[in-house]
Amino acid sequence: MDLNTLYRTVIMDNYKNPKNKGLKKTDDYHFVHLNNPSCGDEMNVEIKIEDGIIKDVRQDGHGCSISMSSASVMSDVLIGKTVDEAKKIILDFYGIVTGIDPSDEEALGEAIAYMGVRQFPARVKCATLAWKAIERAIDEVMESGK
Residues that bind Zn ion (CB under 5 A): 39, 41, 63-64, 67, 126
CB of 41: closest distance to Zn ion in angstroms?
A: 4
> For residue 77, how far is the Cα from the chain centroid?
8
CB of 64: closest distance to Zn ion in angstroms?
A: 3
Which CB atom, from 20 or from 128, has the smaller least distance to Zn ion? 128
Which CB atom, from 88 or from 132, has the smaller least distance to Zn ion? 132
Which CB atom, from 63 or from 102, has the smaller least distance to Zn ion? 63
* Three-class DSSP category at 121: helix
Please count the CA atoms within 13 angstroms of the CA of 10 that sit on its side-chain side: 25
Which CB atom, from 61 or from 102, has the smaller least distance to Zn ion? 61
Q: Which residues of 97-124 are buried (b: 16+ CB within 10 A; e: fewer)?
A: beeeebeeeebbebbbbbbbbbeeeebb
CB of 30: closest distance to Zn ion in angstroms?
A: 24
Cα separation, 128 vs 113, in Å, equals 13
CB of 128: closest distance to Zn ion in angstroms?
A: 10
Q: Within 10 Å of residue 53's Cβ, how many Cβ atoms?
A: 14
